[in-house]
Amino acid sequence: MQCRKKLVADVIKIYNEKRPHFSNHFLTPKQMHTQQELVPKLYKRKSDTVGKTVPLD
């Protein structure tokens, strides 16, 4: 049981402190939380047809 707890703690540490994330501008979550200014991530729209109907004729 102790081995599993340590393994989970190690994985969480790697995820938060060592692994950069695409959605965080390739920064780790820890780096994102220690910033003085947050820059919002903007995504491009894939298509302008979202929500529009298309005839099937």
Q: What is the pLDDT of residue 16?
A: 80
pLDDT tens sequence across 1-54 = 899 999 999 998 888 888 888 777 788 888 887 877 766 767 777 666 556 666
14 closest CA partner among 6, 4, 24: 6
Report long-range pairs for 22-29 (Cβ below 8 Å, ≥24 apart).
none
- Rounded to an integer, what distance in angstroms lies between the CA atom of residue 13 and that of residue 47? 38
Q: Where are the alpha helices (DSSP H) in 1-57?
A: 2-17, 29-33
- What is the predicted pLDDT for the residue at 42? 72
d(CA 20, CA 25): 8
